[in-house]
Structure 1
């Protein structure tokens, strides 16, 4: 089949985010005047090595947050955020934190998660996460469409859970990914591939 997104796909569910998959999940924690917040975003990835930078996009809004969500509202206020990585063991807590709770309700508490302090920014992180990236905002970019916002940040601190370091390499038990629809996958099988010379 072929379809133009502007004209609709005619399918029971939008296939777009299932086509661009798997995607890592950025479990974003923030702190603002209303308290601490935690929410997962599957439009997330790393975008540069030096300095290390990441991005995530927020694509919906809450009525109590002026055409955005708690995460972006608090990032606009503080200028910082933390990206917590997710493993299958954390899937229930991650899913719980995706609920559209009222602004000011702490998802860490709702999901039964322990907080840990960040080192370079004033923000909580998920203590049980296999890794966490402390970030300072570099840009907040409005995107086409209603409530679509791109957030870019420079990584200023990196936490790695000790059991996820093996022979000097980051090796978590698995990496939880989003596949679209209600589908997720825990990546456990990996292989190495050498690039061509100069690649």
Structure 2
């Protein structure tokens, strides 16, 4: 009986390790995923190889609550906190939002864009609050599991302000119409900061 217990242990221990994983030091992908989904869940700052995230320390004049847009009738810019806001149309449908990031001279939008999207165009844009980049992304309509197929355009404006903060504005009507991009550019022309 003792021999079969030994054999059982020889099989059970490696099986348990394989099924539960080793508990040694390992790097989690959580930081990477959090960076990629930052436009939805908030903002973060990734310092080099660390996955340490924190809210930017901003001067209050650069809070999202001090950002104004000239909006069509019935649209709203709903400020959730000083670091993010959502944009809704007259029906309450979400069309995008605004998040802030701490200023970084080497800020690269490629590392912050959403999953399941590809940058198809990058342009320079001038707005009343500063110059930046306008990105057009081709994004999937849904995950593979959702059964939704096809793609739509999503537009992002990345605008650094006086080496203190970066505003990232997102806009999509879930279509590929040129009129949607024009509408976003018109919104950007109405940007201003309350000081």
Tell which has more relative contact order, 1 or 2 (C-alpha 8 A, sep 6+). 1
TM class, shorter-length: under 0.3
Provide TM-score, normalisation by structure 1.
0.26
Structure label with greater radius of gyration: 2
More strand by share: 1
